[in-house]
Chains A and B, each alone.
Chain A
Amino acid sequence: MEILKQSFAQLFKNYHHRSVLFAKSFVRLDEVAEDIASDALCILWERMKKEEVLSVKSFLFRVIKNKSLDYLKHQKVTRKVIESIEDWESRDLQLRIDTLESMHEDEMLTKEITEIAHRTLQALPEKTRQVFLMSRQENLSGKEIAQQLDISVKGVEYHMSKALKVLSVNLKDYLSVFLFFF
Chain B
Amino acid sequence: MEKLLLKYIGGHASDEERRKVLEWIEADPTHKKEYESLQKAYVVSVWEDIEEEKASAAPRKNKMIRLSWLRAAAAILLVSLLWNVRSLIWKGKSALEEEKIGMQTVHVPAGQRVELILQDGTKVWLNANSTFRFPSRFDAEKREVYLNGEGRLNVVHNDHLPFIVKTENYSVKVLGTDFNVKAYGIDNFETALMSGRVEVESTKGKKFMLYPNQKVVEEHGNLKVYTIGSMDPYRWREGLLCFENESVESLFQKVEIYYQIKITNKNKKLASRRYTGKFWMDDGVEHMLRVLQLNNDFTYVRNFETNEYVIH
Task: Enumerate chain A interface residues (CB-CB to B < 8 A).
Answer: 2-3, 6-7, 10, 18, 21-22, 24-28, 33, 57, 61, 88, 91-92, 95, 99, 102-103, 108-109, 113-114, 117-118, 121-122, 126-127, 130, 132-134, 136-137, 140, 148-150, 157-158, 160-161, 163-165, 167-168, 171-172, 175-176, 178-179
Contact B224 A164 (CB under 8 A): no
Contact A25 B26 (CB under 8 A): no
Contact A22 B36 (CB under 8 A): no
Q: How far is the CA of A114 from the CA of B37 in the complex (A)?
A: 15
Task: Enumerate chain B interface residues (CB-CB to A < 8 A).
Answer: 2-3, 5-6, 9-12, 18-19, 22-23, 25-26, 33, 35-50, 52-53, 140-141, 159-160, 208-209, 211, 213-214, 224-225, 227
List chain A residues, Cβ under 8 A from B36. 99, 102, 175, 179
Q: How far is the CA of A91 from the CA of B21 in the complex (A)?
A: 12
Contact B37 A168 (CB under 8 A): yes
Starting from the known contacts A99-B39, A126-B213, A148-B224, 9 additional A-B residue pairs (CB-CB under 8 Å) come to A117-B48, A118-B49, A118-B50, A133-B211, A164-B6, A165-B38, A175-B36, A179-B33, A179-B36
With contact pairs A88-B23, A161-B3, A165-B2 given, residues A108 and B209 touching in the complex (Cβ less than 8 Å): no
Neighbour of A24 across the interface among B11, B38, B52, B159, CB < 8 A: B11
Neighbour of B50 across the interface among A33, A121, A168, CB < 8 A: A121
Contact A27 B11 (CB under 8 A): yes
List chain B residues, Cβ under 8 A from A137. 209
Looking at A10, A148, A157, the one whose CB has the most chain B CB atoms below 10 A away is A148
Neighbour of B26 across the interface among A28, A91, A134, A164, CB < 8 A: A91
List chain A residues, Cβ under 8 A from B45. 117, 121, 132, 163-164, 167
List chain B residues, Cβ under 8 A from A88. 19, 22-23
Closest to B5 in A: A161
With contact pairs A2-B140, A88-B19, A92-B18 given, residues A25 and B2 touching in the complex (Cβ less than 8 Å): no
Sorted from nearest, which 4 A-B pairs have the closest CB atoms?
A168-B41, A24-B11, A167-B41, A28-B11
Q: How far is the CA of A128 from the CA of B213 in the complex (A)?
A: 13
List chain A residues, Cβ under 8 A from B160. 3, 6-7, 10
Neighbour of A2 across the interface among B25, B40, B41, B141, CB < 8 A: B141
Q: How far is the CA of A33 from the CA of B103 in the complex (A)?
A: 45
Closest to B211 in A: A133
Chosen A-B contacts, 27 in total, with CB atoms closer than 8 Å, are A10-B159, A24-B10, A24-B12, A25-B42, A25-B46, A27-B11, A28-B11, A88-B23, A92-B19, A95-B22, A99-B35, A108-B43, A109-B47, A114-B48, A117-B48, A121-B45, A132-B50, A137-B209, A149-B225, A160-B6, A161-B5, A161-B6, A164-B6, A165-B38, A175-B36, A175-B37, A175-B41
- The smallest beta-carbon distance between B147 and chain A, in angstroms, is 24
Contact A130 B227 (CB under 8 A): yes
Q: How far is the CA of A133 from the CA of B53 in the complex (A)?
A: 12
Closest to A160 in B: B6
- The smallest beta-carbon distance between B207 and chain A, in angstroms, is 8
List chain A residues, Cβ under 8 A from B141. 2, 6
List chain A residues, Cβ under 8 A from B47. 18, 22, 57, 61, 108-109, 114
Closest to A118 in B: B48
Q: How far is the CA of A164 from the CA of B41 in the complex (A)?
A: 6
Contact A108 B44 (CB under 8 A): yes
Q: How far is the CA of A178 from the CA of B227 in the complex (A)?
A: 37
Q: How far is the CA of A136 from the CA of B18 in the complex (A)?
A: 23
List chain A residues, Cβ under 8 A from B39. 25, 99
Q: How far is the CA of A141 from the CA of B208 in the complex (A)?
A: 13
List chain B residues, Cβ under 8 A from A109. 44, 47
- The smallest beta-carbon distance between A126 and chain B, in angstroms, is 5
Contact A148 B2 (CB under 8 A): no
Contact A136 B50 (CB under 8 A): yes
Neighbour of A103 across the interface among B2, B26, B40, B140, CB < 8 A: B40
- The smallest beta-carbon distance between A181 and chain B, in angstroms, is 11
- The smallest beta-carbon distance between B269 and chain A, in angstroms, is 33
List chain B residues, Cβ under 8 A from A158. 3
Closest to B7 in A: A157
- The smallest beta-carbon distance between A14 and chain B, in angstroms, is 9
Q: How far is the CA of A137 from the CA of B199 in the complex (A)?
A: 11
With contact pairs A137-B209, A167-B41, A179-B36 given, residues A92 and B2 touching in the complex (Cβ less than 8 Å): no
Closest to B213 in A: A126
Closest to A145 in B: B225
